[in-house]
Amino acid sequence: MENEFVKTFSESYAMKGGEGPHSYAQNSKVQRVGIEAAKSLIQKAIATKFDTNTNSTYSRKQICIADLGCSTGPNTFIAIQCIIEAIELQYKSKDLTIPDFQVFFNDHISNDFNTLFKNFPSNRNYFASGVPGSFYGRLFPKESINVFHSSASLSWISKVPKEITDRSSAAWNKGRIHYTNAPKEVVDAYANQYQKDMEIFLHARAEELVGNGLMALQIPAANDVTFHSEFYWGKKFELLGTCLVDMAKEGKVEEEKVDTFNLPIFFSPLKDLIKILESNDDFIIEQMETIDAKSHFIPVNAQMFASLHRAALEGVIENHFGDEILDELFDRYTKKVMEIPAMLDMQNLNVVALFVLLRRKV
C-alpha cells in the first residue's frame, strides 16, 4: 500500500535562499506587486465568503491557514497578514471572540526555511510552522485547514515531462530549455503534465480543507496567446537557453547536458486554466478575476531583470549543471537582455495572474 505521508509527486527545486544579492528575499519585488494587487480581492473574498460559523473548528476555536509555495519571505507574510486581518474583521463585526490563528508555511524540502523563520514578523499574531514537501500531494490531515493561499507558485510543474528528454521521442526538446518555439509535441507534453498536476493539487486540497473552507489562488497564466512562440515569458527562457547553447559551443558545458535540461515551468493559456478549474467537482468557484501584470509591473534594468530570474532559476540550473556556470551564465544573459530592449518593455508582457477563490463543497 502506498504511504500517503511520504508519497512525493515532485522534484524539489526551491528559490535561492539566504538574503544575499541573488536571493529570492532580495529579488521578489515583482511577485510582491502581485500580492499587493490581490490584497483587495482577498479582503473582499473573506468579507463575503468566509463563514465564521462553519470555519471555527468547533470546540478548538482555531483557524488554520496555509500558504503553499511560500519561499523565504517576505511576500508570504504580507499575504498571510492580509488574510488574518480580513478574518478578524469578520469576527469583530459579529461581536465574536477572535480565534487563535495557526499558519502553516509550505514549500519544497529544499526551501530555505531558516531564512523564512528568521524573518517571521516580530509583531505576528499567529502561531507558525513550516511544512516541507510538495503541494502536488497531501500535506495536511483531512479537513484540517480553513484557508489555503498560494501565489506565483502553481506555474511550477511537479517535474519535467519524461518524454522531452528522451532522444527517441517525438517530444525530445533538443537545444531548448523550454517549450517556446518548440514542436507541438513538446508543448503538449508540458500542458499534459500541468493538467495532471493541477488535478492532483486540487484533489489533495479538497481532502485537506474543512467543508466550506476557502482557497485563494493567484496563478500566472498566458493571456491571449495563440502560439506559445508569442509568449513573452517564454521568450525570456528561450534567451537564457541560447546562452547555455553558446556555452556548449565554446565547450564550457556539455551539449548533452543542455539537451537534457528543461525548466519545469508552464504558463497555461488562461482559457485552458479556467477550463481545468471549472471541470473540478470538489470546489465551487466563488470569484475569478485576472490581475493584469502589465499595469502592476515595476520597471527593471537588464541587471535587475537577470537577478530576478537568477533568484528563481538558480536552484534548478545548479541542480543540473553544478554551480560553476552560474556567474558566467547570468552575465551572458544580462548582456543579451541589454541587446534586446523589447525584453524590458513591459508593454510586451502578455502574462496575467488569475485570482480565483474556491470554496470546498460540503
Ligand X SMILES: C[S@@+](CC[C@H](N)C(=O)[O-])C[C@H]1O[C@@H](n2cnc3c(N)ncnc32)[C@H](O)[C@@H]1O
| Pick from 83, 46, 339: nearest CA to 212 | 46
Considering the complex, state which of residue 76 and residue 334 has its C-beta at the smaller distance from ligand X.
76
Please list the alpha-helical segments (H only) found in the chain. Answer: 29-49, 52-55, 75-93, 113-118, 184-208, 232-249, 255-259, 270-278, 293-296, 302-321, 326-339
Task: Give the Cα-Cα-Cα angle 260, 157, 131 (nearest 5 degrees).
Answer: 120
Measured from the CB of residue 133, what is the shortest distance to ligand X in angstroms?
7
Considering the complex, state which of residue 172 and residue 266 has its C-beta at the smaller distance from ligand X.
266
Measured from the CB of residue 201, what is the shortest distance to ligand X in angstroms?
8
Which residues in this chain contact ligand X in the complex, by CB under 6 A? 10, 14-15, 28, 31, 35, 69-71, 75-76, 106-108, 111, 134-136, 151-153, 156, 158, 312
Considering the complex, state which of residue 172 and residue 233 has its C-beta at the smaller distance from ligand X.
233
Considering the complex, state which of residue 104 and residue 179 has its C-beta at the smaller distance from ligand X.
104
Contact 25, 19 (CB under 8 A): yes
Q: How many other C-beta atoms can be found within 10 angstroms of the C-beta atom of residue 316? A: 22
Considering the complex, state which of residue 141 and residue 211 has its C-beta at the smaller distance from ligand X.
141
Q: Are strands 127-132 and 100-107 parallel, antiparallel or unpaired?
A: parallel
Amino acid identity, position 178? H
Considering the complex, state which of residue 40 and residue 93 has its C-beta at the smaller distance from ligand X.
40
Nearest residue to ligand X, using CB?
A: 69
Measured from the CB of residue 157, what is the shortest distance to ligand X in angstroms?
8
Q: Record the cell numbers describing residue 6, joined without a space.
A: 511520504
Query: Per DSSP, what are the bridge partners of residue 65?
Result: 103, 147
Measured from the CB of residue 60, what is the shortest distance to ligand X in angstroms?
27
Measured from the CB of residue 168, what is the shortest distance to ligand X in angstroms?
28
Instruction: Quote the DSSP letter at residue 259.
Output: H
Measured from the CB of residue 39, what is the shortest distance to ligand X in angstroms?
13
Considering the complex, state which of residue 225 and residue 316 has its C-beta at the smaller distance from ligand X.
316
Measured from the CB of residue 74, what is the shortest distance to ligand X in angstroms?
8
Considering the complex, state which of residue 31 and residue 334 has its C-beta at the smaller distance from ligand X.
31
Q: What are the Cα distances from residue 163, in Å, to 49, 168, 169?
A: 43, 8, 6
Q: How many other C-beta atoms can be found within 10 angstroms of the C-beta atom of residue 49? A: 16
Measured from the CB of residue 13, what is the shortest distance to ligand X in angstroms?
7
| Pick from 360, 198, 195, 208: nearest CA to 281 | 360
* Residue 163: strand, helix, or coil: helix
CA 150 to chain centre: 7
Considering the complex, state which of residue 189 and residue 217 has its C-beta at the smaller distance from ligand X.
217
Measured from the CB of residue 107, what is the shortest distance to ligand X in angstroms?
4
Measured from the CB of residue 198, what is the shortest distance to ligand X in angstroms?
11
Considering the complex, state which of residue 108 and residue 236 has its C-beta at the smaller distance from ligand X.
108
Contact 197, 40 (CB under 8 A): no
Contact 329, 313 (CB under 8 A): no
Omega within 30 of 0 (cis) for the link into 269: no
CA–CA gap between residue 327 and residue 105 (Å, rounded): 31
Contact 274, 288 (CB under 8 A): yes
